[in-house]
Amino acid sequence: MAGPEILQGLDAPATNRLSPEGELGMLRTMMRIRRFETRAKELFLQGVIKGTAHSSVGQEAIAAGACAALEARDFLLTHHRGHGHTLAKGADMTRMFAELMGRASGYCRGVGGSMHIADFERGILGANGIVGAGMGLGVGAALAAQLTETGAVGIAFFGDGAASEGMFHEAMNLAAIWSLPLVFFCENNQYGLTTPTEAVIAGASIAARAQGYGVPGRRIDGNAPGAVFAAVDRAAQRARAGEGPTLIEAMTYRWDDHSMRANLGGYRSEAEEASWRAAEPIARLRGRLEEGGHLEPGAFEALNAEVEAEVEAAIETARAEDEPEMEDLAAMVLAPPPPEAPEPAPGARALTYPRAINEAFAQEMERDGSVMLMGEDIAPTGGIFGLTAGLAERFGTARVRDTPIAENVTATAGVGAALSGLRPVIEAQLFDFVTLMMDAIVNQAAKARFMLGGRACVPIVFRGPQGAGIRLAAQHTQSLEMLFANVPGLEIYAPSTPYDAKGLMATAIRSDNPVVFLEHNMLYLGPEAPVPEAPYAIPAGRARLVRKGADCTVVATLAMVERAVQAAERLAKDGIEVEVMDPRTLKPFDFDTVTASVRRTNRCVIVHEAPVFGGLGGEIAARVTSEAFDWLDAPIERVGAPEMPVPYNDRLERAFMPDAGHIAAAVRRACYRS
């Protein structure tokens, strides 16, 4: 493995760019970081800090030099080894220790921990436990800065291990084609966990990859804060001038194991560790300042004593703080819903399902300048289903933004934009492709508010068509709602009519929570239906009574609602009156209305297109049984697809989907078994 000789021949420290006072400030910053990290490790070994944390000892020059080049309006995204970056950007040390100790006064109120510290007032948009995620979030934050013309520049810090993630390439490409004000900063500390960087990086260097995206790439001495400052200052000026991103690779070395919890022996030699420690940044800068007469005899020792006193005071204060209580946590999961308003009458004007959604987009974009759309081929053609037709011409391609075929970064950038003040709507061209967005939805959007102690909102909509019936086979027609139903922090909307599609889309866009918005392929092909022209929003968690009946309640979703009505009309000829309920939103779910219906009819059938096992019907059945058991005259019936992927053959696809005949048979079983 290369030793510190790798630093020779890299960018010079460029001391002329900083005054002696500036370098003294960076020395103090590095000393604060070093002391914070060493004390944090000691507290971890004592059991005061639990879980784990990741030390940045040895890498302090990067945080100090990079953040010294930023302005107050600038922002950063960091990673699991991010204590140094947050301290250098001005985070409060006491609140950081409190968070590491799981105290309620911590930055995340004790529920986020070391890997999720954020301070939005200082432009610290969060650390992250998912490798490489900060690059995608940074793209979104930079897009927000570009669209709102704040003049802010951001840094997305990542490690050499993250340079092998697909997110690196997707984010670099997107930032380059949109000329975003973002600095990609790779801290190459020579190892990804225990794997040497040189063993997993093809090509000359990580910095050399910048050429493939047409942006500057620089490899610098990451143990020289002056070199770091000069490189970031240059990149920030370029970004502020509208010239786009820069990739910086800073060569450095971490002294400790991957994490404080790790106990991984045998992957680094003593000689290698000793040689890198001899090239560490604090001693190097101290020596140069003393040689230049800018650090008087005894000044370093006095500064060290000052830093130690600051750190010990922060620890003492943090240890005395209270821990959070369980009853405080629920409010951190979801932001409060927007104010409710009465639903308008449908009226006489009619729209198709796609046109209703398109109108919701247009009206919400007109109402709120922070609303924007992103997805593949959505401008100017309107996408493969035409749902965004005409919007690019009306609102411009900055707000109706075509993306590459890169679902991961598109979705993650959407989360970063939402955390930065925009209200993005992210399209999955077909909802099967949402599996490529899962990290953004499940690990980022759904958890951000909670991990940040309820101090953040994530107003983002992930939308697209799902479901069978259009002969696109198994990878284009799945019903995937249950992938998200068990994830706290998400809302799930499932409109079955044009009226509901428009009203619920408005609600989704106005929500301060991440919403998964399901649109069924078959509903795109449905007839026109009454939709009010004026804007309106349908409150989430309010079920719709589709048809009254006294003998059995059928709960149906999406395209199954119309099939349930067809079944009810057939059964009415035999004297069986079915009540059809459409929940409209799956999370929140209106259990009160559904349970009240079952108490009236004494029977229940639940139908959805997804397979029965693990489907939404099981959850509804459990809740209805719990709350209406004494009213049930028969076991609850569930109707869903068979346990198989969607077949391509049209006859088999029709047989795969539950239809009116399947639903009617289930109702008859419920009625005749009572």
Q: Which helix (H) or strand (E) segment is 309 a member of?
A: helix 299-319
Beta strand segments in 557-653, E = 578-582, 585-587, 604-611, 637-641
Single-letter residue type at 570:
R
Residue 541 is classified by DSSP as T
Q: Which two tokens stand for residue 62?
A: 């990067």
Which residues are identified as catalytic?
A: 407, 476
Contact between 321 and 92 (Cβ < 8 Å): no
The Cα–Cα gap between 596 and 518 comes to 26
The Cα–Cα gap between 416 and 61 comes to 27
DSSP per residue, 449-512: HHHTTT------EEEEEE-SSSS--TTTS---THHHHTSTT-EEE---SHHHHHHHHHHHHH-S
The Cα–Cα gap between 436 and 674 comes to 46
* Angle separating helix axes 93-100 and 20-45, nearest 10 degrees: 20
Residues contacting residue 413 through CB under 8 Å, at least 6 positions apart: 136, 137, 139, 140, 143, 171, 174, 374
Contact between 138 and 415 (Cβ < 8 Å): no
Q: Which two tokens stand for residue 462?
A: 């992930």
Look at the block and give the residue holding tokens 């005054």. 19
The Cα–Cα gap between 231 and 11 comes to 9
Q: Which two tokens stand for residue 578?
A: 């079915």
> What is the Rg, in whole angstroms, of the alpha carbon atoms belonging to the chain?
28
Look at the block and give the residue holding tokens 């939005």. 120
Contact between 14 and 230 (Cβ < 8 Å): yes
Contact between 561 and 653 (Cβ < 8 Å): no
